């Protein structure tokens, strides 16, 4: 008989009910799959395009130009006394990442249905991996931002050290929303139609084209219930020193992010057991 | 710890079907419903969806099916077990539960060891990626570590025979190359317990043979294997023990030969060995007024099924009516492969000369072959009668029948026997002519 029988893992399979644990150690075991799926998304993203990764710059820059003309020039929306293009681009960076990450992770389960119905792995791998590929686009666009900061002679202050915190918050929010919508999307494909619409509304509820100083002081806390308001405001503050320092509004945003993420993860785990049967 | 690899206890799986179908008699009802009661519908759908697998057995039975019902068995470490059954019997559901893709409704499973499951070859292949990239991606999806993949990379490429196309996107591969690569990755998965669904039914004959050989190696290495297949030859040669599943339940858990016998008996039980041929269509050159008409045909077998074992007798009885005096009549039956190659053409003239004069009446005639020389497979049976000038009646395909292996051989030796026929040959053991003294 095999000598290592004693330490072979025992897998127990039985029907589960109600809320399940997140099983983060199992997720850690599958970290390589996480990496390979993200790597696949990146590899495939710009296949058979002429401009390739340049799209990662063209998209936000074109959006910035349009916003500058419409909101900056025509509508004359204030921009906290800094040039509108960089004011807008600072916000577009986290916003674009967030919008693409949450819509990608919302659709990720349905797009990977063939994997879910044929192979076992912790299902959380799929929405999480779909967050990673967008980071590369973010990094490329960030280089462009550095160029712009040189052009406008903006020197970042020590507050730039806060940037990773805001970025993490954007990732966590995208994941939280992505987990909820992704799991719901398995049941109701309506979500697929809702997402583009939701992302548009959400952008106008976030200080991307306008400064949050336009919002009356007493409403700021409520405004912070939109976690992306805290993120975008934080990006502006960390990069160009305008906007509000992390204050009550930021903490409200951070709190909402955590709620979204934790509830999303547990909801996802609860729904997970039926994915293979109904996807 | 015992030597058990898998213990399955009372496993059941209920699928709810048609959960979303609501009763709408007319389109207007439906529109009304959607327009005026959208939330009611949403709530109903939500309720149904949240619980697609209902746990009570009290609701009506036509909207849910037990894909598996009360399945229990044990698999010992190192055993290779075949799982056979018709399509929809629950074989794949069982593998899906064992590989944790879906949850059971009832019962439990204990698995001692790392599990690798192979329900499909090429899961997660991306057409835009190259062969090399897909090896890594597919390997990772199947649960291999990157270091394992790197170690086995050359072996995988050699097995798939795609060295030259390693850096070509797989969307430009031929389907054969694609399948070879996909199987090669999966074949180099190294789990202690391997669950394999019908994946050998791909690729050309040579590659199938190679895959089967690889499966045999895996089995010999002492791994535990659960092997779902419709390829009885493969199951027979790989698995000493099998489990026959019928409509979600275990019908038989025993020696493979017994399971296959029972399975084939079930498969062909709705095929009668009797055919009423009086109104069957005839070829154009047979006149309906020829004076002789075959009214029914029976294939005589030991078990009453259209299954004949290799080496058994093959016997055909036909009844016919004769309505006028006929001279010099002969009868015959023949056996063809499904693609129309005639293997046997057996005529009554081999026993008696053409019947000189046949008076009107009803007759029965039997022709038989004491030991049939056919290889395992599926064949067509044809029958006919003629006089010297013309065909009197002819039924080119009265029925199909199956020839089944009569013995279980411990090796692939007999499976590898080539040829169309298997006839008994006589051999003497070797006789020594002289001794050679080795230096």
What are the structural domains, with CATH classification, of chain B? 14-66 (no CATH), 68-267 (3.40.50.300), 285-404 (2.70.50.60)
Size of interface A-B (CB pairs under 8 A): 120
Listed residue (B329, B291, B296) closest to B395, CA to CA: B296
Q: What is the pLDDT of residue B200?
A: 64
Question: Which of A31, A36, A45, A109 to mutate to test binding with chain B, by most B CBs within 10 Å of its CB?
Answer: A36
Integer Cα distance of A107 and A192 in angstroms: 7
The answer to whether residues A118 and B123 touch, using CB atoms and an 8 Å cutoff, is yes
Q: Is B53 helix (H, G, I), strand (E, B) or coil?
A: coil
User: Does any CB of chain A come closer than 8 Å to the CB of residue B94?
Assistant: no
How sure is the predictor about A3, in pLDDT bands with cuts at 50, 70 and 90? very low
Average pLDDT over residues A123-135: 91
CA angle B94–B98–B100, rounded 5-degree value:
115
Q: What is the pLDDT of residues B250-301, one digit of tens each?
A: 999 988 888 887 887 776 656 778 888 888 888 888 888 888 999 999 998 8
User: With contact defined as beta carbons under 8 Å apart, do B109 and A13 qualify?
Assistant: yes
A119: nearest CA in chain B? B101
Other CB atoms closer than 10 Å to residue A155's CB: what's the count? 9
- Of B241, B234, B235, which is closest to residue B255 (Cα–Cα)? B241
The DSSP secondary structure of B317-365, one letter per residue, reads EEEEEE-S-EEEEEEEEEEEETT--EEEEEEGGGTSPPEEEE-SEEEEE
Vertex A124, ends B56 and B150: CA angle to 5°? 125
Contacts of B386 (CB under 8 A, 6+ apart): B329, B330, B332, B392, B394
Report whether A15 contacts B104 (CB < 8 A).
yes
Write the residue in B97, B114, B142 that is nearest to A13 by C-beta.
B97
pLDDT tens for residues A198-209?
999 999 999 999
Tell me the average pLDDT across A131-142: 91
- Largest CA-CA distance found in chain B, in angstroms, rounded: 101
Q: Which long-range contacts (CB under 8 A, 24 or more apart) does B175-181 make?
A: B176/B203, B176/B204, B176/B207, B178/B122, B178/B125, B179/B121, B179/B122, B179/B203, B179/B207, B180/B207, B181/B122, B181/B131, B181/B134, B181/B135, B181/B156
Q: Among A118, A188, A191, A273, which would you mutate to test the B interface (most chain B Cβ atoms within 10 Å of its Cβ)?
A: A118
Whole-model pTM: value is 0.73
Determine the average pLDDT of the residues in A246-260: 89
Asked whether B8 and B109 are in contact (CB, 8 A), the reply is: yes
In this complex, is the C-beta atom of B339 within 8 Å of any C-beta atom belonging to chain A?
A: no
A250 has pLDDT over 90 = no
B11 confidence band (pLDDT: 50, 70, 90): very high
Question: What's the average model confidence in pLDDT over B420-428?
Answer: 84
Measured between CA atoms, how close is B255 to chain A, in angstroms?
23
Q: In this prediction, what percent of chain B has a pLDDT beyond 90?
A: 27
Confidence of residue B61 (pLDDT cuts 50, 70, 90): low
Contacts of B50 in chain A (CB under 8 A): 187
Region B119-134 average pLDDT: 86
C-beta neighbour count of B82 within 10 angstroms? 25
Residue in B98, B111, B131 to test binding to A, most A beta-carbons within 10 Å: B111
Return the exposure string of A85-103: e unless at least 16 CB atoms fall within 10 Å of the residue's CB, then b: bbbbbbbbbbbbbbbbbbb
A130 CB-near residues (< 8 Å, 6+ apart): A37, A38, A41, A101, A104, A105, A108, A178
Contact at CB, B124 and A44, closer than 8 angstroms: no
Q: Chain A interface, mutation test: which of B54, B101, B114, B127, most A Cβ atoms within 10 Å?
A: B101
* Residue B98: alpha-carbon gap to chain centroid: 22
CB-based burial label for B273 (10 Å; 0-12, 13-18, 19+): buried
Q: What is the rounded average pLDDT of the residues A127-140? A: 91
User: Nearest to residue A90, comparing CAs of A240, A192, A198?
Assistant: A240
Q: Which chain B residues have a beta carbon less than 8 Å from that of A35?
A: 140
CB contact under 8 A, A119 and B104: no
Write the pLDDT tens digit of every residue in B176-220.
888 888 888 888 888 888 888 876 666 667 777 777 788 888 878
For residue A153, how many other CB atoms are within 10 A of its CB? 6
Residue A242 has pLDDT above 80, yes or no: no
Mean pLDDT taken over chain A: 87
Query: What pLDDT is stored for residue A2 in this prediction?
Result: 37
pLDDT of residue B58: 41
* Dihedral class, residue A22 (left if φ above 0, else alpha if ψ from -120 to 50, else beta): alpha
Nearest to B77 by CA among B1, B23, B178: B1
DSSP one-letter string for A69-110 = IIIIIIS----TTS-HHHHHHHHHHHHHHHHHHHHHHHHHHH
Spatial separation of the C-alpha atoms in residues A133 and B331, rounded to whole Å: 76
- Among all residues of chain B, which has the CA nearest to that of A40? B137
Q: What is the pLDDT of residue A244?
A: 66
User: Per residue in B381-394, pLDDT tens?
Assistant: 999 999 988 889 99
List Cβ neighbours of B142 (8 Å cut-off, separation of 6 or more): A119, B116, B118, B123, B185, B186, B189
CB-based burial of residue B341 (10 Å sphere; 0-12 exposed, 13-18 middle, 19+ buried)? exposed
- Residue A217 pLDDT more than 90? no
Q: How far is Cα B35 from Cα B120, in angstroms, rounded to an integer?
A: 43
Helix A163-187 / helix B38-50 crossing angle, nearest 10 deg: 100
Please state the three-class secondary structure of B234-255 as a single string.
HHHHHCCEEEEEECCEEEEEEE
Question: A12 to chain B: which residues are within 8 Å by CB?
Answer: 108-111
pLDDT band at B52 (very low <50, low <70, confident <90, very high): very low
From A42-51, A164-173, B360-369, the region with the lowest mean pLDDT? A42-51
Distance CA A127, CA A124 (A): 6
| DSSP line for B262-286 | HHHHHHTTTS-SEEE-TTS---TTS
- Residues B171, B128 contacting (CB under 8 angstroms): yes
Taking only Cα atoms into account, the Rg of chain B, rounded to an integer number of angstroms, comes to: 29
Q: Whole-angstrom Cα distance, residue B364 to residue B349?
A: 16
The strand pair at B4-16 and B106-112 is best described as antiparallel
Query: Could you say which DSSP state residue A227 is in?
Result: H
Residues contacting residue B155 through CB under 8 Å, at least 6 positions apart: B188
Q: How far apart are CA B192 and CA A62, in angstroms?
A: 54
Residue A221 is predicted with a pLDDT of: 82
Question: Which one, of A96, A89, A98, lies nearest residue A71 by Cα?
Answer: A89
- B32 pLDDT band, cuts 50/70/90, is low
Closest to B192 (Cα-Cα) out of B67, B5, B30: B5
Residues B33-43 pLDDT 10s:
666 665 655 66
Beta strands B391-404 and B342-347: pairing type? unpaired
Q: For position B218, what pLDDT does the model report?
A: 80
- Over residues B80-111, the pLDDT tens digits come to 999 998 888 888 899 999 988 988 999 989 99
CB contact under 8 A, A9 and B113: yes
Interface of B with A in 216-235 (CB under 8 A): none
CB-based contact B245:B90 (threshold 8 Å): yes
Helix H or strand E encompassing B7: strand B4-16
CA distance A43 to chain B (A): 8
Look at residue B118 in the predicted model and tell me its pLDDT. Answer: 82
Report whether B310 contacts B403 (CB < 8 A). yes
The beta-carbon neighbor of B120 closest among A11, A118, A188 is: A118
For all residues of chain B together, what is the average pLDDT? Answer: 82
Dihedral class, residue B348 (left if φ above 0, else alpha if ψ from -120 to 50, else beta): alpha
What's the mean pLDDT in B35-54? 55
Q: What pLDDT is stored for residue A226 in this prediction?
A: 92
**Which residues of chain A are at the B interface, by a Cβ-Cβ cutoff of 8 Å?**
1-2, 5-6, 8-16, 32-33, 35-37, 39-40, 43-44, 47-48, 114-121, 187-188, 273-274, 276-278
| pLDDT confidence band for B407 (50 / 70 / 90) | low
- CA dihedral in degrees (B139, B141, B143, B146; nearest 10)? 50
Model confidence pLDDT, tens digit, residues B219-253: 788 889 898 988 777 888 888 899 999 888 999 99
Given a contact cutoff of 8 angstroms between Cβ atoms, the answer to whether A188 and A249 are in contact is no
Task: Say which of B102, B106, B126 has its CB closest to residue A276.
Answer: B102
Res. A103: pLDDT tops 80? yes
Beta strand extents in B17-84 (DSSP E only): 64-76, 80-84
Residues 182 to 211 of B: which have CB under 8 A from any A CB?
A: 192
Are B303 and B265 in contact, with CB atoms under 8 Å apart? yes
In the prediction, which pLDDT does B20 show? 44
Half-sphere exposure of residue B211, counting CA atoms within 13 Å on the CB side? 25
Q: Which of B98, B101, B133 lies at the smallest CB-CB distance from A276?
A: B101
């Amino acid at each position: 008989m095999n000598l290592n029988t004693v330490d072979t893992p025992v897998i127990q399979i039985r029907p589960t009910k109600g809320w399940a644990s997140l099983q983060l150690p199992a997720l850690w075991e599958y970290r390589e799959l996480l990496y390979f799926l993200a790597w696949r998304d990146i590899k495939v993203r710009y296949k058979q395009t002429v401009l390739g990764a340049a799209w990662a710059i063209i998209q936000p820059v074109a959006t910035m130009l349009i916003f500058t003309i419409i909101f900056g020039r025509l509508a004359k929306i204030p921009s906290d006394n800094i040039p509108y293009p960089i004011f807008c681009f600072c916000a577009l960076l986290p916003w674009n990442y967030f919008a693409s990450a949450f819509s990608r992770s919302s659709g990720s389960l349905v797009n990977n249905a063939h994997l879910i119905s044929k192979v076992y792995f912790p299902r959380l791998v799929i929405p999480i991996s779909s967050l990673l590929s967008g980071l590369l686009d973010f990094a490329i666009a960030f280089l462009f931002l550095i160029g712009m900061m040189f052009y406008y002679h903006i020197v970042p202050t020590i507050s730039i050290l806060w940037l990773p915190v805001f970025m993490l918050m954007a990732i966590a929010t995208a994941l939280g929303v992505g987990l909820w919508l992704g799991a719901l999307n398995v049941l109701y494909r309506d979500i697929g139609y809702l997402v583009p619409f939701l992302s548009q509304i959400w952008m106008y509820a976030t200080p991307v084209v306008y400064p949050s100083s336009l919002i009356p002081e007493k409403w700021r806390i409520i405004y912070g219930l939109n976690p992306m308001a805290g993120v975008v405001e934080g990006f502006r503050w960390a990069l160009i020193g305008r906007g509000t320092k992390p204050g009550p509004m930021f903490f409200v945003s951070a709190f909402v992010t955590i709620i979204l993420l934790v509830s999303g993860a547990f909801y996802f785990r609860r729904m997970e057991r039926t994915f293979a049967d109904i996807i | 710890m015992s030597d058990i690899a898998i213990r399955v206890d009372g496993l059941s799986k209920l699928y709810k079907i048609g959960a979303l179908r609501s009763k709408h008699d007319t389109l207007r009802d439906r529109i009304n419903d959607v327009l005026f009661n959208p939330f009611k519908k949403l709530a109903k759908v939500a309720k149904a969806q949240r619980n697609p697998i209902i746990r009570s057995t009290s609701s009506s039975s036509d909207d849910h099916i037990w894909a598996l019902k009360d399945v229990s068995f044990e698999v010992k470490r190192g055993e290779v077990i075949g799982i056979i059954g018709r399509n929809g019997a629950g074989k794949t559901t069982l593998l899906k539960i064992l590989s944790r893709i879906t949850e059971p409704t009832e019962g439990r499973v204990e698995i001692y060891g790392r599990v690798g499951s192979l329900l499909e070859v090429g899961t997660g292949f991306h057409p835009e990626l190259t062969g090399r990239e897909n090896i890594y991606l597919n390997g990772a999806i199947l649960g291999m570590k990157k270091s394992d993949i790197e170690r086995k990379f050359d072996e995988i490429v050699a097995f798939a025979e795609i060295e030259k196309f390693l850096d070509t996107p797989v969307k430009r591969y031929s389907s054969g190359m694609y399948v070879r690569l996909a199987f090669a990755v999966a074949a180099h998965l190294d789990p202690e317990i391997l669950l394999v669904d019908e994946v050998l039914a791909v690729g050309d004959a040579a590659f199938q043979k190679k895959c089967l050989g690889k499966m045999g190696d895996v089995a010999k290495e002492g791994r535990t294997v659960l092997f779902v297949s419709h390829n009885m030859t493969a199951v027979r040669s790989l698995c000493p023990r099998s489990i026959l599943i019928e409509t979600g339940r275990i019908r038989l858990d025993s020696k493979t030969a017994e399971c296959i016998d029972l399975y084939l008996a079930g498969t062909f039980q709705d095929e009668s060995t009797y055919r009423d041929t009086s109104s069957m269509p005839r070829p154009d050159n047979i006149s309906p007024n020829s004076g002789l008409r075959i009214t029914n045909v029976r294939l005589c077998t030991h078990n009453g099924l259209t299954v004949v074992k290799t080496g058994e007798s093959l016997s055909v009885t036909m009844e016919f009516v004769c309505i006028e005096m006929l001279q010099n009549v002969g009868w015959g039956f023949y056996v063809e492969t499904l693609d129309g190659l005639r293997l046997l053409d057996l005529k009554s003239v081999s026993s008696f000369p053409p019947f000189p004069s046949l008076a009107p009446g009803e007759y029965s005639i039997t022709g038989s072959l004491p030991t049939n020389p056919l290889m395992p497979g599926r064949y067509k049976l044809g029958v006919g009668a003629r006089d010297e000038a013309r065909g009197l009646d002819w039924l080119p395909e009265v029925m199909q029948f199956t020839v089944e292996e009569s013995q279980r051989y411990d090796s692939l030796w007999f499976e590898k026997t080539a040829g169309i026929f298997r006839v008994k040959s006589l051999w003497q053991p070797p006789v020594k002519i002289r001794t050679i003294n080795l230096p």
